[in-house]
Amino acid sequence: MQKVQDLASPAMRLLQNTDKVAASGEPGTSGGDAEVKEIRLPSGHSRDNTDVELRVPKVSDRDTQRAPFAKTNNPYECDGSKYRPLLVADKYEVHEQVIGSSLYRCVNIHTREELVCKMVNRENQSLMSAHFRLESHPRVQPLHEVVVSDRFLYLVFPKAHGDLHSYVRQRKRLRESEAKKLFRQIAEIVQHCHQNGIILRDLKLRKFVFADPERTELKLESFEDAVVLEEPESDWLNDKRGCPAYVSPEILRTGKYSGKSADMWSLGVILYTMLIGRYPFNDAGHVHLFARISSGNYVIPDCVSARARCLIRSLLRRDPSERINSEDIMYHPWLAKEEKEWMPRSCDQMVPSSSLYDD
């Protein structure tokens, strides 16, 4: 049996130089004075918050003309450390960043409607293509409007009622009945994405937002970091990207990996965190965290029902070929069958709060 050190060593050797860098020159930063973590993995990478990132091959977008484009020549305005609201297309005023999100508060200056806005480079055709493929799906945040400038795309979305990460953190952990209803919605989204040739890649709790104030209906916030496959059945990827706590073991190794299987591992981390209130793999530093992930060893407390434990284990399998896939997950007994309220024993709760893992 191969040792943990051997499994993790390719990533471990390249992660010794993990350091801090300053954000600069990106839409949505305030003078480039924020510090974020940069993780070095094989083949070189660029930074995006705390995510493990290697660049994605460009995907041709056949549907870009379908967007409700409005033209603007306004660049993003940023003066040192002083942020000035941006007027876009003489219609939207873009304000400060939403806490814990990559979106910005946005106001329609004519109707005063509160919205949110994402600013991305015009070259990010993958994101737009994914939205066009699933634009009518009820579990995906609809695009209110897309505004094009010389440098950026301004994607305007309806305002949500908070995200799932903040909700789990506030609640400590979720009762199984509630977790089941919410996770079933997440699984439906992932299943539909995979059926349409979309690999989400950076799956995490914060990717899902509530569409209603009662916090019962979830939607996928956006397709940032997604890969649109030219052939839906061929999901082999070389680039490596994801939030550290959610990244799968095969991404830490060199070579190709199945994007769909990596998404399913991230689903396992999401379910574990919803039910238990902490990440299955948790450590203060990336090197030790990745060693834990590579080992595949985690503990499920007795407070989780047998069927839920079974689903978690079906998702968090170190061998990608042994994981349950998005087609079969909806048939798993924990999701497929309604049962009486599970009365758990007390759990040792440790709510995930560090931005190292889910910001």
**Catalytic (active-site) positions:** 202
Triad 56, 247, 230: Cα angle to 5°: 35
> Which residues, including other chains, have CB under 8 Å from residue 284's CB and lie 6 or more apart?
none
Return the DSSP state at 98.
P
Distance CA 355, CA 359 (A): 5
Q: Which long-range contacts (CB under 8 A, 24 or more apart) does 23-32 make?
A: 23/47, 27/76, 27/119, 27/120, 27/121, 27/151, 27/152, 28/76, 28/97, 28/102, 28/104, 28/119, 29/78, 30/78, 30/81, 30/82, 30/83, 31/78, 31/79, 31/80, 31/81, 31/82, 31/83
Residue with tokens 């769909």: 260
Distance CA 23, CA 49 (A): 8
Helix (H, G, I), strand (E, B) or coil at 167: helix
> Which residues, including other chains, have CB under 8 Å from residue 291's CB and lie 6 or more apart?
4, 5, 8, 12, 283
Residue with tokens 């839920």: 308
